[in-house]
Amino acid sequence: MERGQIHLDGPFDLRLTLESGQSYLWWREDGATYGSTDADTWYRTTTRATGEPAPVRVRQDGDTLTWESTVDAAAVLRRRLGLEDDLTAIRAATPDDDLVEEAFDDHWGMRIVRDPPFGGLISFICSAQMRVARIHGMQQRLRETFGTPVTFDGETYHAYPTPEQLADASETELRDLSLGYRAPYVRDTAEMVAGGTRPEEVRGQSYEDARETLTRYVGVGQKVADCVLLFSLEYLQAIPLDTWIQQTIEEYYPDCDRGRYAETSSALRERLGGEYAGYAQTYIFYHLRTGGE
DNA sequence: TACCAGGAACGGG
DNA sequence: CCCGTTCATGGT
């Protein structure tokens, strides 16, 4: 077993980062409901960054992250948890705005995650008209049903299914996991990816071109595409316009409502500072979702 | 019971 | 292009 520590020299909160509705590819070792406020646990996931799926677990104690794995996971964790982002500089570059400042203050340390692209794509296809805890439950069932098991410290971690593993699933099998009408979307998109059309290929395209390209996947509209760009592909300017944010626009930024998704998104992006607008959006989303105003 | 959840596909205008 | 409707499922 390999074990290491990462010294945090900037604001970071592991629980907020992993349980704020950005990623559905981690799970708590204590089994507590996803979205719990108790952070005293290990968070588990797997990574294929070094080849075959490797289990990883990590926990936070103050300004120290401790991780354990079968591989050296330090670099992977830095990337996947957004530790390379200069959060203080990003906040400083975000225009002054009462709602944004309040959200930053209340949830300071939350980072934008970098999920593996395929898992990010499938999990956000599953997110359509669904609550956070249920989206997380779906991903857990997908892992345990179709993912490759690896044992670590006497326990089994199931890797997120590969495109091939999900493409081989039947729609009925997926419906049995309570995916509902999303089942054929997941299966068909997995087949497209297994066939060679990979989401990470959009890297290098302009933000709006990349969003348009991603909507070619079945079950991916502009909102889900924005989630994949923001939480998997490092387009930090992406602003997913979900029902919460649309409600926020009506209430706080009515002049940004241009009637159509692309135009409204663009207007709000400018209002939130452009390059890192996705950070401000993610703080606002979580702030409102947890009862802030 | 009826309504809703981090929407998207589909069909008609 | 735009708009309304439909699509499973489980919680409240």
Give A142-185 pLDDT, tens digit per residue: 999 999 999 999 999 999 999 999 999 999 999 999 999 999 99
Q: In terms of domains, do A105 and A126 share one?
A: no
Q: How far is CA A10 from CA A52, A86, A109, A126, in A?
A: 32, 8, 8, 33
**Closest alpha carbon to C1' of B6, residue:** A242
pTM of the entire predicted model: 0.97
Domain with residue A61: its CATH number is 3.30.310.20
Among residues of chain A, what percentage have pLDDT more than 90?
95
Q: Do A99 and A179 sit in the same domain of this protein?
A: no
- pLDDT band at A35, cuts 50/70/90? low
Are A75 and A106 in a shared domain? no
Q: What local confidence, expressed as pLDDT, does residue A40 receive?
A: 84
User: Is the model's pLDDT at A105 over the cut of 70?
Assistant: yes
Q: Which of residues 129-188 of A touch strand B (CB under 7 A)?
A: 129-132, 135, 181, 185
pLDDT, position A169: 97
Q: Residue A264: helix, strand or coil by DSSP?
A: helix
Strand B, nucleotides covered by protein (CB < 7 Å):
5-9
Measured CA A177 to C1' C6 distance, in angstroms: 21
Nucleotides of C under 7 A from a protein CB: 2-3, 7-10
Please check whether residues A103 and A240 belong to one and the same domain.
yes
The two structure tokens encoding residue A229: 């760009």
Boundaries of domain holding A196: 117-231
Q: Residue range A92-102: average pLDDT? A: 97
Q: pLDDT (tens digit, 9 = 90+) per residue, A200-237? A: 999 999 999 999 999 999 999 999 999 999 999 999 99
User: For residues A6 and A105, is the Cβ–Cβ distance under 8 A?
Assistant: no
Is the pLDDT reported for residue A253 higher than 70?
Answer: yes
User: Among the three residues A65, A84, A103, which one is the final residue of a domain in this structure?
Assistant: A84
Tokens representing A132 are 């956070």
Same domain assignment for residues A241 and A105: yes
pLDDT, tens digit (0-9, with 9 covering 90-100), for A37-89: 666 899 999 999 988 999 999 999 999 999 999 999 999 999 999 999 999 99
Give the burial class of A244: count Cβ atoms within 10 A of its Cβ; 0-12 exposed, 13-18 middle, 19 or more buried: middle
Structural domains of chain A, count: 3
Q: How confident is the model at residue A31 (pLDDT cuts 50, 70, 90)?
A: confident
Domain final residue pick, A179, A207, A231 = A231
Q: Is there a single domain that holds both residue A30 and residue A96?
A: no
Confidence class of residue A278 from pLDDT cuts 50, 70 and 90?
Answer: very high
Same domain, A102 and A243: yes
Among A41, A65, A84, the domain boundary falls at: A84
* CATH (domain of A145): 1.10.340.30
pLDDT tens per residue, range A122-135 = 999 999 999 999 99
Both A121 and A206 in a single domain? yes
Same domain, A107 and A240: yes
CA dihedral A69, A70, A73, A76 (to 10 degrees): -110
A185-196 pLDDT, tens per residue?
Answer: 999 999 999 999
- Same domain? For A125 and A207 the reply is yes
Residues A261, A213 share a domain: no
User: A208 with A124, same domain?
Assistant: yes
